[in-house]
Structure formats: structure tokens, C-alpha cells
Structure 1
């Protein structure tokens, strides 16, 4: 067997796995309770072929979480600004856009049954939030009446609840998410308005 021929089955397997995950994202975006049969059909594979890559539905859901988390973690790594308020606002807005785009990952990640998997997969993002909290407190921009660990947790949980409850078609949804996160951080509504007026690109559609 040639080297090229030997590599082909592995490449096919990887492509099939990626195709299953993509199909799962598409199907679960509209039906979070979709069956493996529905996902296999969308991927153009048999249920048996799907089981060749994922042992059960939970294994597939974890893979979808990992894919979505990788995108969210990349956003967290790339978003920054000298002003911690702006950095946190941009992070919240960009995560909302990604969550509304990768709706399947968001639906699963926001499901209480998968909190443990989500927390583990989003560890880099959570560290980023903690870093921004520390910076914001040091700059005197974020509230200092609660411990930084608790403030970071409150920001995460508030954002999580907002993403779960806020319809994607809500007008100015990114602005709503940003304002909620900044409110928890300690900014008044007038401070938020001033910040967004000075940095309109944070909530503008891209």
C-alpha cells in the first residue's frame, strides 16, 4: 500500500467525523432534542456509520460542545483593548454573535445537563474573563465590593442566562448582552451609554 493510499482512509474518517459534527450543528440548531437518526440522515450516513465515530448521542454532543468552545476560546484570545471595560464589552458582543451563529453549540452549552462539559471546554474563555475582571478592578472601572472570583462567576452566569433567554432576533441583541454584562461589572447605565457612544464598533453588525 502506498503512503498516499494509506492516508486516504484516515482522511476519509476525519472528513466523515467533521461532516457528522457539522450536520449535528445544523440539526440541533433548530431541534436541540434531535435524534441520532435525524443527525445521521442530515450527514448522509447510516446510523451504524455514525456509531463508528461516536459511541452514543452524549459523545456526539460533547464533540459539538468542543467545536463551539474552540471558537469561543479563540474569540477570547483575540479580543483585547487597553481599557478593560471596552475589552469585556467587545468580548460579550463577539461571543453573542458567535453563539447566535453556532446556535447548536450554544443550545447544548447552555443546557444545564452539560454544564460540566461546558465549563471544562471553556476554561480558556473563563480565564480570560477573570483576567479582565482583575484589570478592570485595578483600573477602578469594575466594582470592588465583591471578590474578583465571585465577580467573574457572576459575569459568566449572567451572560449564560442572557444567551439562553434572549431570542437571536431581538433588535440590538448584541447591545443588550453588552449592557447586561457591564451592569454586573458595576457600570451604571449612563456609563454604559457613554462607553458605547465612544466605541460604536462594539455593537455594530459585522
Structure 2
């Protein structure tokens, strides 16, 4: 009597291969941002042809990394209470996002480079709405700077965060507090007030 493999096993194998490719791509691109599709396939233990069974080309693979990183960032934004004290809400959002950026910095850097900004704007829409809500409330309560319109301030905060993600080593122990201070500074807080919030957040979540 012959037996056959469960019908769903190929799907599980395909899903595992896909996740393996994404993981290999993140590791490979962290060492060489210009790594070829062949290099990524070898790192995943697959042939180039097998990789193309999951992604049409290198850009498709990068877009999937972008979307995966965006989903993680958006999920964190959804946990932020935008009705909280605005400086604290902004500090907490940056603090949590930076912790996540340490794990997905390659995807974040890809998402935030000039060539992918249009895709990123759509993928990160929930995160951007969260920042905009914090800024509006901060200006209404006069706890964030009011010398620039809310949409402009939101954009300045985004650009500051973008610079930090793409230019600072997320693995550095000083990176997260530096990122929070930079965002709070552009939002209008003094360095002393920024330091106080950084200290509070580091005590709440030291890791």
C-alpha cells in the first residue's frame, strides 16, 4: 500500500522557504546592501530558480521586506495612546519603533530610501496617522511646538526619524536614546525635558 504526503505540506514548505529567503535577505543585505539575487539565494540555501519561484525579481523581494517591516511598525503605532500626554506619547512611539528598528533596520533603510518613498508612504499610513494625531494634540495643548503647521511638523518628525534609521547603527546602546532625543528636539522640547522622558522610558523598558 502506498502512502502520500499530506496535501498541505507543500504549502508549509513554500511558506518556510519564503520566510527563509526574507531572513537570508535581511542578513545578507545588512552586510552588503547591493548583494545580488544569487548571493541572497545561496544564503537561503536555495537555487536562483527556486528563489524566483517566490519573488519575480530583486525589487519584488525588497518590496516584501518593506511591507514586512511596515507591518511591524504599524502594529506598534496602534498600541500608542494618542490621547496621552503628547510629548510622552511621541517619546514612547519613537522608543518602541527604534527597538523594532534594531531588528529590521535593513528593511527600514530600504523602505526609507528615496527610491521606495512612494511605496513607503502607503505602507506606513497607520504609523503616519498616529504621528499626525500626536502632533495635533500636542499643538492643541501647547506641549509641542506651534511655530509651524501640524502637517509640516509631522513631516519634520518623520524626516528626523528617517535620518536616524538610515544613518545610525541601531545596534549601538546609545542609538535608541539618541533617536528619541532627536525626535523630541525637532518637536520642540528642550534637551532637559527630552532627557527626562528618555530616562523615564529607559527605566520602564531598559532592554
Same fold, judged at TM 0.5 (above): yes
Single out whichever of 76-85 and 135-144 deviates more from structure 2. 76-85
Judge conservation of contact 1:175–1:203 (CA < 8 Å) in 2. no
Aligned position for 2:18: 17
Aligned residue runs from structure 1 range 27-66, under 5 A: 27-66=28-67
**RMSD of equivalent CA atoms:** 2.0
Aligned position for 1:148: 150
Aligned residues: 203
Aligned position for 2:123: 121
TM-score (norm: length of structure 2): 0.89
2: CA distance, partners of 1:71 / 1:40: 24
Task: State the Cα distance separating 1:142 from its structure 2 match.
Answer: 0.7
Aligned residue runs from structure 1 range 107-118, under 5 A: 107-118=109-120
Task: State the Cα distance separating 1:130 from its structure 2 match.
Answer: 0.6
Judge conservation of contact 2:74–2:127 (CA < 8 Å) in 1. yes
Alignment CA distance shift 1:109-1:189 (3 Å): same
Single out whichever of 104-113 and 138-147 deviates more from structure 2. 104-113
Aligned residue runs from structure 1 range 1-206, under 5 A: 5-80=6-81, 82-197=84-199, 199-201=200-202, 205-206=206-207
- In structure 1, the gaps of 5 or more residues are none
Q: Deviations over 1:102-138 (max 9, x none)?
A: 1221231232211112222111111111111112112
TM-score (norm: length of structure 1): 0.90
Judge conservation of contact 2:180–2:198 (CA < 8 Å) in 1. no
